[in-house]
Amino acid sequence: MTQKIAILGASGYTGAELVRLIATHPGMEIVALSADRKAGQSMAEVFPFLRHLDLPRLQKIDEIDFSGVDLAFCALPHATTQVVVSALPRDLKIVDLSADFRLRDVAEYEKWYGQPHTAPDLQAEAVYGLTEFYRDEIRTARLVAGTGCNAATGQFALRPLIEAGVIDLDRILIDLKAGVSGAGRSLKENLLHAELSGGTHSYSAGGKHRHLGEFDQEFSAIAGRPVRVQFTPHLLPMNRGILASVYVEGDPARIHETLAARYADERFIEVLPFGAAPSTRDIAGSNFCHIGVLGDRIAGRALVVAVLDNLTKGSSGQAIQNANLMLGLDEAAGLMLAPVFP
Amino acid sequence: MTQKIAILGASGYTGAELVRLIATHPGMEIVALSADRKAGQSMAEVFPFLRHLDLPRLQKIDEIDFSGVDLAFCALPHATTQVVVSALPRDLKIVDLSADFRLRDVAEYEKWYGQPHTAPDLQAEAVYGLTEFYRDEIRTARLVAGTGCNAATGQFALRPLIEAGVIDLDRILIDLKAGVSGAGRSLKENLLHAELSGGTHSYSAGGKHRHLGEFDQEFSAIAGRPVRVQFTPHLLPMNRGILASVYVEGDPARIHETLAARYADERFIEVLPFGAAPSTRDIAGSNFCHIGVLGDRIAGRALVVAVLDNLTKGSSGQAIQNANLMLGLDEAAGLMLAPVFP
Amino acid sequence: MTQKIAILGASGYTGAELVRLIATHPGMEIVALSADRKAGQSMAEVFPFLRHLDLPRLQKIDEIDFSGVDLAFCALPHATTQVVVSALPRDLKIVDLSADFRLRDVAEYEKWYGQPHTAPDLQAEAVYGLTEFYRDEIRTARLVAGTGCNAATGQFALRPLIEAGVIDLDRILIDLKAGVSGAGRSLKENLLHAELSGGTHSYSAGGKHRHLGEFDQEFSAIAGRPVRVQFTPHLLPMNRGILASVYVEGDPARIHETLAARYADERFIEVLPFGAAPSTRDIAGSNFCHIGVLGDRIAGRALVVAVLDNLTKGSSGQAIQNANLMLGLDEAAGLMLAPVFP
Amino acid sequence: MTQKIAILGASGYTGAELVRLIATHPGMEIVALSADRKAGQSMAEVFPFLRHLDLPRLQKIDEIDFSGVDLAFCALPHATTQVVVSALPRDLKIVDLSADFRLRDVAEYEKWYGQPHTAPDLQAEAVYGLTEFYRDEIRTARLVAGTGCNAATGQFALRPLIEAGVIDLDRILIDLKAGVSGAGRSLKENLLHAELSGGTHSYSAGGKHRHLGEFDQEFSAIAGRPVRVQFTPHLLPMNRGILASVYVEGDPARIHETLAARYADERFIEVLPFGAAPSTRDIAGSNFCHIGVLGDRIAGRALVVAVLDNLTKGSSGQAIQNANLMLGLDEAAGLMLAPVFP
């Protein structure tokens, strides 16, 4: 039986990516799409690449009849999201793609996002949406909080290593390279083609990027003691993809074995042979994550490189993977699309 | 029942694109892959983006047992193709992606490709693979010749107009913008990122591009008299996509009506509202073709703009569409993947 | 003696390009820079690539003391420009880069720009700034109107041909490919890297682009009768550069001879050997214009391809070339920088 | 008096960049250009962007009369270079851009480049060409060895810090992002636009990159004891530019002060205000290097980010800067070209 889906915030990139993926999903049907400022328009007007699909018109959220909706994806800005989700039916299954329900401690939310959390009760209910590590909780959750795309990439590289105790917890450094779609459809000078193409720079460097909140929460929970990583993202002239170069101290072979063993049965995570380095080109447009492990000439140092598509495995693909679990569908339904290369 | 598929020439871009599309095709299974110089390697070594798939190793063509193969895609260079296809079983269904069987008159082949055709009997048997216009012949064909990617784009814009007699046949000009994957995986200085990115130039200008052979053949056949178009391709710093700006003389509104009527029932061809211009970004990674028609301030002049993905609708997607027909499957099976944007 | 220069509108791309070029100009010194909304900031804040230069801070225009200024470049938006220039000292030499003084007939200005011209007296005084064709008038002008960048490209290809009477005036078609910096630093969704890179589309197609006003004015004046061309620009994922594919009817060899003869003594215009096609990569960052001429398999048809850098030869380089003439300097002073490749 | 210059190996990117820079150099004139496989061709054929220049034809090296040559730039592949330089006149001034004379210990050369050094006497004579740190030696040198472009970037960030003793020498990590022109005009699949654009990957990771030889040599010499850094380069879809993210342990403020003081009088090195991060876009096409220093939320950790153009400050610009010194010219002659943005 086809599940009825609503997408709130369908005029941004993650909203459009949800539509793209659901277009060939065998068990989902889109019954409502919202975009407050573009209400009344068709998706073909907002995203002409979707014009071949027969989709409902964009509506305001309060015009949507949720009675026939099985699950809503919420792809709205943070802060707005809390308000919107609070007003939705209490029995509606929700997968949220914003940052609003990722941090279990609302004080941490206030610290990283600069404003108080207005829906702590919903936060208490939310499950952190890193599928491969919260699968059981997600299956029975009503509200799942999608992870940050950078946060997901770093965690795929590090969680099994922290859990297995094979790396020095005080010497973790994540140098990350991010594609520009992660910044969304924001109109900023430095996101213009003329300014972004052909060059690179770091941003939110020096321990300021908000996804550090997720790293702190998750890594500390696994380790059972505070873990603080260094994390510097760089913006690259590529539309999709994240590459995280994760520098750790530990035995490279053991690190590789730990990751390979942990992900052996995961359908979306591929650990490359020891010494092989992954490329973002090999996962673009797909829900796959490739991980490589390399040693160094300095004994006891290792480099773990993880790549994924920020719009797919990093947000909308992850969201559908979680929704599949919540709806009792095959976890991989609609998500086995091969990457697009070249 | 799943059809058994062989792909000859799997180490090039069109070969890889066939694998990408078949990966989620409900009715096809790849049983053999060839790549002479890379025989023995796995596809994951040649194209790491396909590493999640369980695929046969690359073989030499003469190592393949064709007895269990329902259909072979042949993605080899021209000239080589004639030799290879001549040696294949005479009852094997074949969709060829090379230029070797596109020109019905082998003298034209010799003129455009600079060497005699060595398999005129196979040529006599071959059906020209522009699906939307040769559907019935393709359904019963044994050997289908895929079209040139530029040739397909121009024909989608022009065939219905020539057939309907609504444009001046002596004033047709195609200014085409092509993405770089159309040049294949060739190692040439001008295809290096350092030399291709950030700029553009024309190539094979002045009536020299080989796809003119297809335009001449097809347009003349429709018109019942010789038709010669002007055609200038330009290479652009984009990986996928062709945009053909087709300048014609005739009534713009009638031209739009003619195209809209002709393609109303076609699942892969979308005619935009009059005056709207298509973008290659809206079809990248998909089997769709968008067509726009615009008038001009000079009465009696019109611009028809057609866009498609050269690797998909322009070659490998078209090939699968044809194979679907030849195998009795739904013509669109496996091909409804939405474009990838951004 | 060093000439004192003011740049009004220094926070846009053409303003920054003026600063870049003047940085190594032997006879000019920047004494004032304006940017109304960014007044008080340093250029290093607005354009960090200029941080090595010792430049005056950005001011509001009315804060500038023009008494010691020899020449002002005006790089402001159209409409605003008329108001600003009207308020400047009547004896100040001005090179304007906007569209405000390009059309001699103010009715044409109103037609193409959608609003009445408010400074028809200044328009009467303005000289059209296509240096190679208005050199004598520019030398003695007080106010020079820079051309449109697309308009310059098309004119370099066509003016000598119209003047020599070697092409059919009713069959001129300009298919133009433009880099994105021509759109300026405007915050528009379709100029974002995520949306512009990797694809192409036409814009202002169908006889609507404003630079047609310049083509009409100039070509008709040369021909002594109305000339109307077809003109379709396309936006490309490249930052700098314009390639104009100009389709004409006439004898290709004679067309080549005409252009080669006309430009033999021009330092910035290079006519390639017959049959060679130019590339935008070969002029990027420079004041050069390359022109190629190709025949066609259809007798009597020719393709003229002209390339230039929209920010340099198409606007700021042209502006300095004109200023050099107005100030009695060598016309090429500061402009012989080689293109940047790759 | 103009210095007579020969360029050996003029058909590669660094050779072309030398020509580009010398084109507007006030004190140099190119009298000979070599390119063995392209001997007899004009530079305009090999690099059309240089067609406006009046240059000697390409010759074989043994055809060049060095009697009137003041200085030769040698831009040949490593290994070949040793052979060629050995055969040049013993009194000819030479600036070499290859790797052949960078490592003072020829055993280190053999270790990193996999073959014995065949000209140890020339090596003994060679001065390491990092201008800002070997200025006095370079001034009187006959043979100067240009540095690796990555090696230069890392050293600009680190040398003053090691010298001042403000960082932990056992905890230095360089995560580097490199533009593709650094790989030269090599015909490799992974350098094709179709494969390189839109993505990123690491290469020579794990302590294998040859520029480590330079880091080891230089940093150990400064420190007076062995220093081994971690170094991982990544290839980015940009043509020019290197960004080195250098992670160190030490007091961020002191690190900033140390760098700012050291480079206060350097014309090509700009230390940004504390906390500001540089961008490769701001130095592209120029001889400038920008350096930023940021702290971290973890006390005692700092990030130093250095950017430069690999073809200019990283190789050909550096080479000219050195040649200027060797020829008694102003060190900055011909090198004050502003970066090209956008």
ipTM: 0.97
D180-222 pLDDT, tens digit per residue, is: 999 999 899 999 999 999 999 999 999 999 999 999 999 999 9
> HSE (CB half, 13 Å, CA atoms) of C10?
34
Q: Considering only alpha carbons, which residue of chain D is nearest residue A277?
A: D202
Split at pLDDT 50, 70, 90, the class of D102 is very high
Which residues of D are known catalytic residues? Answer: 149
Residues of B in CB contact (< 8 Å) with D are: 13, 180-181, 183, 185, 187-189, 191-194, 196-198, 237, 239
Per-residue tens of pLDDT for chain C, all 342 residues? 799 999 999 999 999 999 999 999 999 999 999 999 999 999 999 999 999 999 999 999 999 999 999 999 999 999 999 999 999 999 999 999 999 999 999 999 999 999 999 999 999 999 999 999 999 999 999 999 999 999 999 999 999 999 999 999 999 999 999 999 999 998 999 999 999 999 999 999 999 999 999 999 999 999 999 999 999 999 999 999 999 999 999 999 999 999 999 999 999 999 999 999 999 999 999 999 999 999 999 999 999 999 999 999 999 999 999 999 999 999 999 999 999 999
CATH 3.40.50.720 residue spans of chain B? 3-148+313-326
**What's residue A208's pLDDT?**
94
Which residues of C are known catalytic residues? Answer: 149
Residues of D in CB contact (< 8 Å) with C are: 13, 16, 19-20, 23-24, 47-53, 181, 197-198, 239-240, 267, 270, 278-279, 281-286, 288, 290, 336-342
Residues of A in contact with D241 (CB under 8 A): 198-200
CATH assignment of A150-309, given 3.40.190.10, 3.40.50.300, 3.40.605.10, 3.30.360.10? 3.30.360.10
Residue B14 has pLDDT above 80, yes or no: yes
**What's residue C100's pLDDT?**
97
- Adjacent-strand bridge partners of C246: C174, C304
D256 burial level (CB within 10 Å; 0-12, 13-18, 19+) = buried
**What's residue B150's pLDDT?**
98
Q: Which helix (H) or strand (E) holds B32?
A: strand B28-34
Share of chain B above pLDDT 70, in %: 100
Topology annotation, domain C3-147+313-326: Rossmann fold (3.40.50)
Q: What is the DSSP letter of D316?
A: I
Split at pLDDT 50, 70, 90, the class of D234 is very high
Interchain proximity A189–C189, CB inside 8 Å:
no
Do A213 and A109 contact (CB within 8 A), yes or no?
A: yes
**What's residue C68's pLDDT?**
93
Neighbours of chain D (3+ CB pairs under 8 A): A, B, C
First to last CA, chain A: 36
**What's residue B24's pLDDT?**
97
Residues 6+ apart with CB under 8 A from A291: A156, A157, A259, A263, A269, A270, A271, A272, A278, A304, A305, A306, A307
- Adjacent-strand bridge partners of B7: B33, B73
Mean pLDDT (whole number) for B195-215:
96
Neighbouring CB atoms inside 10 A of C12's CB total: 20
**What's residue D1's pLDDT?**
77
Q: Considering only alpha carbons, which residue of chain D is nearest residue C23?
A: D338
Residue D250 has pLDDT above 80, yes or no: yes
CATH 3.30.360.10 residue spans of chain A? 150-309
D103-140 pLDDT, tens digit per residue, is: 999 999 999 999 999 999 999 999 999 999 999 999 99
Cα–Cα distance for residue pair C312/C317, rounded to 1 Å: 4
**CB-closest option in B13, B187, B197 to D197:** B197
> HSE (CB half, 13 Å, CA atoms) of B340?
24
Mean pLDDT (whole number) for B21-43:
97
**What's residue D109's pLDDT?**
97
Residue D26 has pLDDT above 80, yes or no: yes
**What's residue A223's pLDDT?**
98
**What's residue D169's pLDDT?**
98
Q: Architecture of domain D3-145+313-326 in CATH?
A: 3-Layer(aba) Sandwich (3.40)
Interchain proximity D173–A247, CB inside 8 Å:
yes
Share of chain A above pLDDT 70, in %: 100
Residues of A in contact with C181 (CB under 8 A): 194
A8-49 pLDDT, tens digit per residue, is: 999 999 999 999 999 999 999 999 999 999 999 999 999 999
Do A51 and A23 contact (CB within 8 A), yes or no?
A: no
CATH 3.40.50.720 residue spans of chain C? 3-147+313-326
**Would you tell me the crossing angle of helices D212-223 and D106-113 to the nearest 10 degrees?**
150
**What's residue B325's pLDDT?**
98
Residues of C in CB contact (< 8 Å) with D are: 13, 16, 19-20, 23-24, 47-53, 181, 197-198, 239-240, 267, 270, 278-279, 281-286, 288, 290, 336-342
CA distance B202 to chain A (A): 22
Size of interface C-D (CB pairs under 8 A): 91
Do A97 and A73 contact (CB within 8 A), yes or no?
A: yes
Share of chain D above pLDDT 70, in %: 100
What phi and psi values does residue A6 have, to the nearest 5 degrees?
A: -115, 145
**CB-closest option in B183, B189, B197 to D187:** B189
Strand D201-202 and strand D230-235: pairing? antiparallel
Topology annotation, domain A3-146+313-326: Rossmann fold (3.40.50)
Residue B1 has pLDDT above 90, yes or no: no
How does DSSP assign D15-55, residue by residue?
A: HHHHHHHHTT-TTEEEEEEE-GGGTT--HHHH-GGGTTS--
Q: What is the CATH number of domain B3-148+313-326?
A: 3.40.50.720
Q: Which helix (H) or strand (E) holds A162?
A: helix A149-164
User: Long-range contact list for C73-76, CB < 8 A, 24+ apart?
Assistant: C73/C5, C73/C6, C73/C7, C73/C8, C73/C15, C73/C18, C73/C97, C73/C316, C73/C319, C73/C323, C74/C8, C74/C9, C74/C98, C75/C7, C75/C8, C75/C9, C75/C10, C75/C12, C75/C14, C75/C15, C75/C18, C75/C316, C76/C8, C76/C9
Cα–Cα distance for residue pair B283/C112, rounded to 1 Å: 33
Mean pLDDT of chain B: 97
CATH 3.40.50.720 residue spans of chain A? 3-146+313-326
CATH 3.40.50.720 residue spans of chain D? 3-145+313-326
How does DSSP assign B174-223, residue by residue?
A: EEEEE-GGGGTT---GGGBHHHHTT--EE-STTTT-TTHHHHHHHHHHHH
A145-182 pLDDT, tens digit per residue, is: 999 999 999 999 999 999 999 999 999 999 999 999 99
Residues of A in contact with C192 (CB under 8 A): 180, 185, 187, 191-193
Residues of B in contact with A288 (CB under 8 A): 52
Residues 6+ apart with CB under 8 A from B290: A48, A51, B269, B270, B271, B272, B278, B279, B282, B283, B306, B307, B308
Residues of B in contact with D37 (CB under 8 A): none
Size of interface B-C (CB pairs under 8 A): 143
Mean pLDDT (whole number) for B166-173:
98
Residue C93, classed as helix, strand or coil, is strand
**What's residue A1's pLDDT?**
77
Cα–Cα distance for residue pair A249/B71, rounded to 1 Å: 52
CA dihedral defined by B207, B209, B213, B219, rounded to 10 degrees? -60
